[in-house]
Structure 1
Amino acid sequence: MDFYNQSLCYAENGSKNVALAYAHRSACFFHMEKYEEALIDIQLAKNANVSEDQLTEMDQRKSECEKLIVKKPLENLPKLSYEADTNFPSIANVLELKNSPEFGRYFVAKCDIPCGKIVLAEESFIGVRKDNPWMYCSECLQMNTNLIPCQSCATTVFCSNKCMAKNTAHKWECGTNFNLFDCEIKFQGQAIFLAIDTFGSIDQLMEFIESILCDVEKQPMSLLDSKSKYHFFFNLSKSLLHADDILLVYKIYIDLMKIPKIAALFDSKEKQRFLAHLVAHHFLVILNNAHGNNSYQSVGAIFSMFNHSCTPNVMQFFDGKQHLVTIRPVKKGDQLFISYLGKQKHSLEQRQEICKSKWNFICNCERCNSVGEIVDHNTITSDVHYIFVLENGYTEDQSSEVLDHCEKFLNNYAHLPWSDEIQFVIDIYCAHLSRNNLNQLL
């Protein structure tokens, strides 16, 4: 797949190599049992005038795909479990944004929310994959899809013409090697490109930044346009700038100024100083708000508003959008928490050290301060739903039943203080959700 994607990028536009790459990539999809994607590539190969000797092979593969394909209904795509908020369309209307000196900006429930509800479905404001750039869409970060190459460079691919048209930032880096840089530098580049693209000129960008710095308390009332989204991103909480960061910020600035289109825009000392300071600001915002795993990193304007707890009541999934799903029942007025620590197990000391060193706070959740009522372990372990999950949680053939029993158990017991039993069921629940791509929730 990787090599055929690269072949598409390096093939001369309109040449027979384009059709050849699509034809062979359809075979990859076929062997991966992704028959819908194979059919799309077969059609792309035909549109690119695949040779007569391969046309028969394409028709045979098309016939086999049509026999094996299982149509997925559109309603099974992950979506919010409630109506979207009017001003913040990526969150469910059962959430409310609050602000306090202790928590900053955060979300609370406007009503009781049971386990298993999708309360956020947000496109990343900026995001990058750490994998090979020829394996994912540069806009939505989806992998193993029908990627099509940028027509002007050999390092960027998109999953559709829609994503290609939507990605306005790429034009600034197109034809350069910026997309091949490491994750941190690509992150910074995306933020700067989006900032430039959002405003009509560098002068307007500078004027906008000066205005929001003069009124740091002012927040956008909605996220319905590109300027509000950038304003929201710019005002996200920031890490402290350490001495070691200054050299990296300077390196990012130098790499950006090597891009001809960027150098032409920042053509004075005043504008160059502004760019350097803007890079530093973005650097600190990203450092404090980026989330992901070994494959991707992203920053979402709304997603970044959720605070951390070692006993989270929502968990995240990423499939081109960032989703949050309730894994514990949430009472009206309760704050919604995610975990910043990922799936790896940590001791109390390790959790406190990571939170302090990376985000500059001490976690005071119930798990860390050991405050709460005593858990009746015998009642929990004798629960029929717990027993079913214990006996069947590691099998794939009963995944829907496991999810159902997990939800019933969590709705009954996950409001209690954190325990090994609750942690176990949540781990199983999350594993099956990931395997099912959230479809079982809908």
Structure 2
Amino acid sequence: MDLPVEEWTSHILQKWSLLPKSIQVTISTAETLNDIFLHSSSLLQPEDEIFLKRLSGDYLVGKDPDAPLFYREEGNKKFQKKDYLEATVLYSKGVSHSRPHTEDISLCYANRSAALFHLGQYETCLKDINRAQMHGYPERLQPKMLLRKAECLVTLGRLPEASQAISDLESNFAAKPTLAASQLQILQRTLCHLKIKVQEKENLTEAFPAALTKAFEDVDLRQENEQISSASSSVSLCTDPLKGRYLVATKDILPGELLVKERAFVSVLNPGEMPPRHHSLESKWDTRVTTGDLYCHRCLKHTLATVPCDGCSYAKYCSQECMQQAWDLYHSVECSQGALLLTLGVFCHIALRSTLLARFEDAGKVMKLCGESSNRDICLPESKNLVQMLSYDLGGESEKKGKTVEAPIPGCDINGKYKNNYNAVFHLLPHTENHSPEHKFLCALSVSALCRQLEAASLQVFTAAPKSCRLKAVEAPALCPELSVWGVAMLRHMLQLQCNAQAITTIQQTGSKEKLITDSRQVRLATGLFPVISLLNHSCSPNTSVSFISTSATIRASQQIRKGQEILHCYGPHESRMGVAERHQKLKSQYFFDCNCSPCEREKQSSQKGPGREAFCCHACGALLQGGDVLSCGTASCTESVSRDHLVSRLQNLQQQVGMARKLLRNGKLERAIQLLLRGQHDAESFLSSEHSMVGEIEDHLARAYAALGDWEKSAAHLQKSLRVVEACHGPSSIEMGHELFKLAQIFFNGTH
């Protein structure tokens, strides 16, 4: 997903393996990214492009004229079963494949408005009714939709508008009596009820505030940092020959304090499960719900009623405004390349979008400024090199010609300010020397193939655009006046992303809507670049936590941070979720460093002293067992010993037993599941540590089973036991602890009703 599809990756790696050794050496020892790109791109042959075109042709991202009818009919089936949520998504898919101002799109919008009405989404329903009318909804079908509009307005308390809609509807009946007598009778009866409703509401005094304040208002930084945009004044930017750039506290910071609130410079929605159409057995049209169906492709806002791009079926937005902004900024170029970008992966897509968000001339200026004279990353300011500086931002400040100054911290402007702009993004480290030659070759050829397609499409991008967007399209930068500059900039970004990409996450509920107790999980929604957050170094037990709203990330202190202490972030491997050896392997392979944080050092020492939480215990006295192939009791008075293999085998059997119980729970066979889990609970107590994750999992499943039976007291008791394990494994402030507490709150709530 981040990198190109497997077929293209395999093709390029095979191509690399067949290159003469001399060419491999030339690319491997190239001193600059420019040399890597030029040497690699010269090897891209027409047959490679044909192969890539065939791969990208498997993705259906254009508008298929036959698809709207298919999706509308599938949506109607769900609607008839009262599955209005699923129906809404299917109607949205129909909208995405429809051309503007056609009966197809108007019918899909109208049908979606009906589903939204049943979901209680009255404001959104009204918007869809207006869209249906704007795109030429047939006159013969207007009465039913106008009645729905009046019902929405009455429900929302917008009585003058509701009265006007009712009046318009009565006029429509009188002017065009085309409806069958039975239909007309039903509509008129509903209309009478609505008129009575309006009168009743007009006579009622308002019992609630006309406008409720938002439950969650946007939280802003108390005092913004003068040196670092999007950061609190509680932190400052420092550099170190070994650490590079990092943030430290300028004062004592309390838990929960907001330290950074940054909007992504660039973000790309995770496409989710998008199988190529030849993988679909039943139809070339996919009816499954993906991330791309539920979130705006620009601002990442959750939306049921998406507004599609006029030119492709893939890009969807929460509003016409977001659609137009995306078109102006980057989608006018990306639109015709949607299938290719899905084939080349999210990193390649972000690389392109980053350069499109910067003015093309400035991308070249920054590259010339850095003058990558070697394959090494930009040197740290301690080298005291004097460089020719330019004052740069996306607003287009003028170049300060001829001004020689001491180099500031990389990414800062001439005034020493670190901003959320392309200059800061460009100076994120690509770690060129750490990537394998094969990986650099793959990235370079992928970017080269994309550049060639952009160059080929440059004459068509602005002429083949939909009429509604054509005027805006001409404002996009010229695509390839100097192909190599584009390519090198994008190659740099692709290499940067392995270490600097930030997964933008959201919390999604799991389980069916009928369940009284819902679970939740963190899912990756998009990938973005956050220049300020990228300044934070890693710790396996960080002193901050990160959360996301739309494309904005907020970093808060998760514990007290003393003045002068470093602000630390977790890159993924956390001490509560994996052991030190696994963390080190992951950090080394992705981020190219050996972690020496306090938890790692502490865990290395403790692993030499004795077993951890995932240990076996003595069945005789309950103490933790220690040793190698043969485990012995840790207490002097107990002489019990047992083979490790025997206990591992018991654990595997227990895991299978719990898996069977989980399947029984899913199938509603609660009593049998409980019997199996209670047997497993008794078995686990005889040989597993009380803090073992399997003990917690069994208690969690028992809590679910008793909740499903309505036995809230037993459910709460088992969940509280699970909580103790979760707290021991993940810590009292962990997201895992939050999920468990949320479930416990639901149990207590249901138990009191």
Matched, 1:427 2:710: no
Measured against aligned partners, the alpha-carbon deviations of 1:64-84 in whole angstroms (never above 9, x if no partner) come to 466999966247234235233
Q: Which residue is equivalent to 1:361?
A: 593
**1:197–1:338 CA distance, 2 compared to 1 (3 A):** closer
Equivalent pair of 1:315/1:338 in contact (CA under 8 Å): yes
Q: Which residue is equivalent to 2:99?
A: 12
Q: Which residue is equivalent to 2:351?
A: 191
Q: Which residue is equivalent to 1:114?
A: 254
Structure 1: distance between partners of 2:121 and 2:443: 42
Alignment of 1:66-215 (within 5 A): 73-74=213-214, 76-86=216-226, 88-130=228-270, 131=272, 132=290, 133-144=292-303, 146-167=305-326, 168-178=329-339, 181-182=342-343, 185-199=345-359, 201=360, 205-213=363-371, 215=387
Matched, 1:244 2:438: yes
**1:76–1:87 CA distance, 2 compared to 1 (3 A):** farther
Measured against aligned partners, the alpha-carbon deviations of 1:352-374 in whole angstroms (never above 9, x if no partner) come to 11111111112222211119xx9
Q: Which residue is equivalent to 1:311?
A: 541
Q: Which residue is equivalent to 2:566?
A: 335
1:301 to 531, 534, 537: 531
Which has the larger displacement, 315-324 or 6-15?
A: 6-15
Give secondary structure in 2 for the equivalent of 1:76.
coil
The structure that has the greater radius of gyration is 2
The amino acid that maps onto 1:150 is: C
Equivalent pair of 1:84/1:91 in contact (CA under 8 Å): yes
Q: Which residue is equivalent to 1:58?
A: 149
Measured against aligned partners, the alpha-carbon deviations of 1:186-245 in whole angstroms (never above 9, x if no partner) come to 43334334424532x55x532331113365864324999999711100111223221231
The amino acid that maps onto 2:421 is: K
Structure 1: distance between partners of 2:530 and 2:742: 20
Structure 1: distance between partners of 2:594 and 2:132: 56
Equivalent pair of 1:290/1:299 in contact (CA under 8 Å): yes
Measured against aligned partners, the alpha-carbon deviations of 1:102-146 in whole angstroms (never above 9, x if no partner) come to 321111222222112232222212222223434322222223254
**1:157–1:223 CA distance, 2 compared to 1 (3 A):** farther
Q: TM-score, normalised by structure 2?
A: 0.46
Structure 2, unaligned runs of 5 or more: 1-87, 159-207, 273-289, 373-386, 388-406, 460-477, 504-522, 607-702, 705-726, 744-753
Structure 2: distance between partners of 1:21 and 1:223: 54
Alignment of 1:397-436 (within 5 A): 420=728, 423-427=731-735, 430-431=738-739
Structure 2: distance between partners of 1:433 and 1:119: 26
The amino acid that maps onto 1:351 is: R
**RMSD, aligned α-carbons:** 4.1
Q: Which residue is equivalent to 1:219?
A: 411
Q: Which residue is equivalent to 2:698?
A: none
Structure 1: distance between partners of 2:451 and 2:212: 43
Equivalent pair of 1:178/1:186 in contact (CA under 8 Å): no
| Aligned residue pairs, count | 390
The amino acid that maps onto 2:426 is: F
Alignment of 1:390-401 (within 5 A): none
Higher relative contact order (CA 8 A, sep 6+): 1
The amino acid that maps onto 1:153 is: C
**1:128–1:218 CA distance, 2 compared to 1 (3 A):** closer
Q: TM-score, normalised by structure 1?
A: 0.74
Structure 1, unaligned runs of 5 or more: 375-393, 396-418, 436-442
Measured against aligned partners, the alpha-carbon deviations of 1:346-396 in whole angstroms (never above 9, x if no partner) come to 11111111111111112222211119xx9xxxxxxxxxxxxxxxxxxx99x
Question: What is the Cα deviation at residue 300 of structure 1?
Answer: 0.9
Structure 2: distance between partners of 1:276 and 1:424: 47
**Aligned residues: percent identity?**
20
Matched, 1:291 2:525: no
Matched, 1:257 2:418: no
The amino acid that maps onto 1:154 is: S
Structure 1: distance between partners of 2:224 and 2:157: 36
The amino acid that maps onto 1:244 is: E
Measured against aligned partners, the alpha-carbon deviations of 1:22-65 in whole angstroms (never above 9, x if no partner) come to 34434555566656544544554465565332221233245446
Structure 2: distance between partners of 1:432 and 1:327: 18
Structure 2: distance between partners of 1:143 and 1:20: 23
The amino acid that maps onto 1:327 is: S
Structure 1: distance between partners of 2:479 and 2:105: 38
Equivalent pair of 2:451/2:487 in contact (CA under 8 Å): no
Structure 2: distance between partners of 1:433 and 1:273: 54
Question: What is the Cα deviation at residue 179 of structure 1?
Answer: 7.2
Equivalent pair of 2:502/2:527 in contact (CA under 8 Å): yes
